[in-house]
């Protein structure tokens, strides 16, 4: 049973509740960042490869597991390079003249050193029962992991060999095509230089004087070697100066002039 003091406290009026500012009392709402866009495995692999090799533009083929060997000339045997991992057959940025370029890349699982080698042509590639041989310095051998049927990797080795050889053929064909285009362009430029002066083009002073000198030389040879009795009169150009009168001709002219003057004055 409540005491008198408790009843007296309960009968007293309680203070009204204080108004609350929601924006002040409530914790601020922070928007969660949007989730990153989903990326395919190929996009993820391409971004990783481009960190090491920026010239790579796309991935043409992937072999899940490969081991790199080098051929030792001294021992005449294959020696491991301590590089193994996923093998990527990649397309590279075209060359300065526009030829297609491709390469083989192995992202190493056993260390920080990766492997990359450009595919230049089919003469660079040899196919062995165990290795894909790439001629270089040194000669490299790619061993591709492939399990027997019915494994999903049963055709991996053959598919990798076929894809590398296909791109080697394309790289060679593209390079030879660009070389032929350059040769044809150089031949066309050479033919254009050897052609005569086109119609309507003004001749330079050097060309004009060259033609005049050729004409003068031809006239001089003809004038000195002609056997015609009147060759001098026939070949004399129009711009030759009139020969000066001889002294005897001057005396005759003076006599005629004096005779005409006397007749005019009535002295003749």
DSSP alpha helix (H) spans, the chain: 4-11, 22-25, 41-52, 156-194, 205-225, 231-235, 247-265
CATH of domain 41-177: 2.30.29.30
Contact (Cβ atoms closer than 8 angstroms) between residue 48 and residue 121:
no
User: Which residues have a Cβ under 8 Å from the Cβ of 91 and sit 6 or more positions away?
Assistant: 56, 57, 58, 59, 60, 100, 101, 102
Query: How far is the C-alpha of 2 from the C-alpha of 8, rounded, in Å?
Result: 10
In tens digits, what is the pLDDT along the chain, a chain of 268 residues? 556 565 655 566 666 666 555 555 556 666 777 777 777 888 999 999 999 999 999 999 999 999 999 998 888 899 999 999 999 999 999 999 999 999 999 999 999 999 999 999 999 999 988 899 999 889 999 999 998 888 888 899 999 999 999 999 999 999 999 999 988 888 887 767 655 555 555 545 555 455 555 555 554 544 544 444 444 444 444 445 455 555 555 565 666 667 666 665 555 5
pTM over 0.85: no
Q: How do the domains of the chain map onto residue ranges?
A: 41-177
Q: What is the CA 94 to chain-centroid distance, rounded? A: 7
């Amino acid at each position: 049973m409540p005491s008198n003091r408790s009843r007296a406290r309960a009968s007293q009026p309680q203070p009204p509740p204080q108004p609350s500012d929601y924006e002040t009392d409530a914790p601020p709402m922070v928007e969660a960042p949007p989730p990153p866009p989903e990326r395919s495995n190929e996009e993820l692999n391409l971004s990783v490869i481009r960190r090491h090799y920026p010239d790579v533009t796309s991935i043409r083929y992937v072999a899940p597991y490969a081991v790199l060997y080098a051929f030792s000339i001294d021992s005449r045997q294959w020696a491991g390079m301590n590089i193994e991992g996923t093998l990527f057959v990649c397309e590279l940025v075209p060359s300065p003249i526009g030829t297609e370029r491709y390469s083989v890349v192995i992202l190493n699982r056993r260390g920080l050193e990766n492997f990359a080698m450009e595919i230049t042509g089919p003469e660079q590639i040899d196919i062995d029962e165990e290795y894909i041989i790439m001629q270089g310095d040194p000669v490299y051998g790619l061993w591709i992991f492939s399990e027997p049927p019915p494994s999903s990797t049963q055709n991996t080795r053959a598919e990798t060999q076929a894809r590398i050889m296909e791109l080697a053929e394309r790289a060679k064909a593209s390079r030879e095509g660009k070389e032929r285009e350059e040769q044809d362009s150089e031949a066309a430029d050479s033919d254009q230089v050897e052609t005569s002066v086109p119609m309507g083009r003004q001749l330079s002073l050097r060309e004009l004087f060259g033609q005049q000198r050729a004409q003068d030389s031809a006239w001089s040879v003809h004038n000195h070697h002609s056997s015609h009795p009147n060759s001098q009169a026939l070949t004399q150009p129009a711009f030759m100066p009139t020969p000066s009168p001889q002294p005897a001709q001057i005396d005759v002219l003076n006599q005629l002039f004096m005779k005409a003057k006397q007749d005019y004055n009535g002295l003749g």
